[in-house]
Structure 1
């Protein structure tokens, strides 16, 4: 999710099933794959290849991530804890409202206050990635219920993005080092959270550019990064 960015104001969009759209066989082949691998493919050809791949693998991707989702709701400490905390506020996030679909937007997932969580199966690398993504969206769900977040207030949105990236585990050192090539030790987590919160804000129409997004993140940084509720401290 490209690295995914989670955005409540611009949720990831599911697409028609694979039997409704046929993949372009001219691009989903070994020749195109090795052209991409060697850096010779155009951006357009890369997009066509990955779109065709996602169509071919749609059913198996969804089944894989649904199985991982169900296991995590039974066994993941962070998912179980966040579900309990959301229940205390009168809500519920469960496998029935965490829907798994193929998406065309470059996001791992999104949340809608009316419909629940959407996880994009074609962007999920492994079970750890699924866990981080669900946890991220569940922090958003907690914030919307606990703090009455205004979806149109950019400071509110920056704050919940900071908290979601901090508390979900997606910015822990091992995730940054092994999956994103971020090798700096000093302030690594803080830099990851700032980067991801800024990228998420940039997806909102009312944000002018990266400078505007970074300024909003900086304005709320201290209070939001240090607010670990419902955890006693940063979980991982």
Structure 2
């Protein structure tokens, strides 16, 4: 995996060298059965005193968790590809632009940032297996990234142009469903629900643009989002209207 395209989605695909994935245990049997149970109990009760054994245990534990997360992520992905109306529709619309997207372009991996996923114009979509909460979260995340995929195919976005980036972020947050009513209540509770769909979209778009290395500050991100807001928020292509 090459260095991520800066600001491509606000949820950039990390460069391979920045992803801290634990190494595979030399013997997978060492994390199964009685031996795994013994080491787990020793760790929990403080009886592992050898620093090397402790380090290896923690490495194996993280590796096992990553494998489990990876399997679950791919199960959620396959569910979305086969049953999510939004994801299926977006894939059909991207295909109409002569860009083929398959499961080979949508991968799960470990991410060391608090991001649900990312889009790379040459590599495709990354879903952050250690950040995905459930299949509904993955559905929204994948839909978000597929809006970026669509924008790239239709408009040839310059991701280092903050206005281009802001426009795609506004569209992705608005059209993916991640700012729908129930999602806002889940994340923020009823006390903050009054912000509404548009405020949610603005907030998320601003955070993503602010993460673009070309952007100098959050204030600049807010300014750019506001400058392109009307035209980009009202552009619901390829949908007829915003899904809420």
- Band the TM-score falls in, shorter-chain normalisation: 0.7 to 0.9
Q: CA RMSD in A?
A: 2.7
Give the secondary-structure state (helix, strand or coil) at the position aligned to 2:118.
Answer: strand
Deviations, residues 61-113 of structure 1 (Å, cap 9, x unaligned): 11001011011101110000000000000112221110000111221111111
2:54 corresponding residue in structure 1: none
Corresponding position: 1:216 with 2:218: no
1:131-142 → structure 2 map (5 Å cutoff): 131-142=139-150
Which of these two proteins has the greater Rg computed from alpha carbons? 2
Is residue 99–residue 117 contact of structure 1 (8 Å, CA) maintained in 2? Answer: yes
Whole-Å Cα distance in 2 between the matches of residues 203 and 146 of structure 1?
Answer: 24
CA distance in 2, matches of 1:131, 1:177: 18
Using the TM superposition, give the Cα deviation of residue 17 of structure 1 relative to its aligned residue in structure 2, in angstroms. Answer: 3.9
TM-score (norm 2): 0.77
The runs of 4+ residues in structure 1 deviating greater than 4 Å are 51-56
Q: 1:182, CA displacement in angstroms?
A: 6.2
Unaligned runs of 5+ in 1: 1-5, 31-50
Separation in 2 of the partners of 1:234 and 1:54? 40
Q: Give 1:33's aligned residue.
A: none
Query: Matched residues in 2 for 1:230 and 1:52: separation?
Result: 45
Residue 87 of structure 1: which of 81, 95, 98 is its match?
Answer: 95
Q: Match of 1:152?
A: 160
2:13 paired with 1:12: yes
Contact 1:198–1:210 under 8 Å retained in 2: yes
1:52–1:194 CA distance, 2 compared to 1 (3 A):
farther
Considering fraction of residues, name the structure with more helix.
2
Question: 2 CA distance for matches of 1:230 and 1:53?
Answer: 44
Contact 2:144–2:175 (8 Å) recurs in 1: yes
Q: Structure 2: which 5+ residue stretches go unaligned?
A: 1-5, 26-39, 46-58
Say if 1:53 and 1:126 are closer, same or farther in 2 by CA, change over 3 A.
Answer: farther
